[in-house]
Amino acid sequence: MVILGLGSNVGDRMANLRKALIAIRQIPGMIVEQVSPVYLSDALLPENAPPEWDMPHLNLALRCHTTLEPLDLLDQLKKIEWSIGRKPEVRHWGPRILDVDILAWNSDIIKSERLTVPHESLQERPFALWPLADVAPDWRFPLNGPYHDKTAAEIGEQWGSRFTGNAPLRARQIYQRIDTPQLMGVVNVTPDSFSDGGAFLEAEKALQQALYLVYSGAEIIDIGAESTAPSAKPLTADIEWQRLEPVLAAIQAAKDKFMILPKISIDTRHSEVAAKALKQGVDWINDVTGLEDEAMRELVCTSKADCVVMHHMSIPASRQHVLPRHQDPVRLVYEWGAKQIDVLEKAGISRERIIFDPGIGFGKVAEHSLQLIRHTDVFKQLGTRVLIGHSRKSFLSLFTPHTFAERDIETLSIALYLAKQPVDYLRVHNVEMCARGFRVQAAL
């Protein structure tokens, strides 16, 4: 048993950790058996460190099995650090894109010029010891002293709760994970959305909801000002922007308040709105029409933003315009996606920037939506990232008579299924419930 510790405090920290996990899984003779939750902590700094070094860290642990020898594994891990952007350096304390350390190797003690195991001061660092205890609670500390032969779980008890931030360096466990789909939280700046219309029309309320969603586990915030529910009235681009602009301005002004800086997605089908949002620095354009508008394609092409391409039959959704009942919905949606992605590539938008959404509930009867969810693995063959938006939708009437806003249990059940599928993002309303479910599922 080998326990690796991963850390990052520069750039897109969650992305750095995900890249490291992918690379570690590709090391010959290496099997990743379990991934810990992520922990947020203040930087551990030497005296007289420059102020710019004081950047919060994200840390986690991996329990692995390997056929490699310790120094051979160390060489592989250093190559991964450098491939993700960390350069060979002498200093040991400064900010870094990625750290990958060998925290423990069975109960062995290794002391050499290049490697010390257990990792130095492991028993004094909750940001390292807690993740280790999450994946190997029965690992026993092998060094002489007050912690000799104590389990990782026992040693971790000295700091109390993992969640309060009262441990040294304010270390605490957060909801975001690197081994499950990323959660996209929804902020509807609309009076007529099907489950929470009118709740976040004011910019300050929308900002507070965005902050709460990130605290609850979201890494992307999807902001929409026009409802696509069947009963919704279409908006002009001017009215849509009047709703969006103050919310974007409030989020931009409050960047320092976010525990993790989220990617901002704008849910719009109007190229005029998308153009203004891109000038405000948004990261994604989520177009429910699948970028059918040439002006939208040209706009995305000339930007750096990613785009969500959603299958649909009509916008707003209509019960009169649905896929044929006697045909395979997975095949029809896949074929539409392949054609539309080809159109986007010819317009200059690379496949790496495209996120495909099969459009659960848009132009599908309930049984169609269920089939698409069962076979989400098929859409990975498009060569893009995949997003599923199933939260609280009408197809869940197959399972419950409860109103849209009361369908979080059904939403969670499907999210737990999708967490084991090749899905990159889940768009959900109750982010915290899904994140808590992922946490337990991963532990089991």
- Residues with a known catalytic role: 86, 96, 99, 101
Unique residue bearing structure tokens 């026009």: 226
Nearest 5°: the CA angle 10, 429, 42 is 25
Distances (CA, A) of 333 to 71, 311, 363, 375, 402: 49, 7, 11, 11, 29
DSSP 8-state secondary structure symbol assigned to residue 324: -
**Alpha-carbon gap, residue 414 to 40, rounded angstroms:** 28
**Alpha-carbon gap, residue 52 to 115, rounded angstroms:** 28
In terms of Cα–Cα distance, which of 213, 179, 174, 152 is closest to 59? 174
Q: Is 78 helix (H, G, I), strand (E, B) or coil?
A: helix
Phi/psi at 220 (nearest 5 deg)? -130, 135
CA atoms within 13 A on the CB side of 370: 11
In b/e form, how buried is each residue of 299-314, taking b as 16+ CB within 10 angstroms? bbbebebbbbbbbbee
**One-letter identity of residue 257:** K
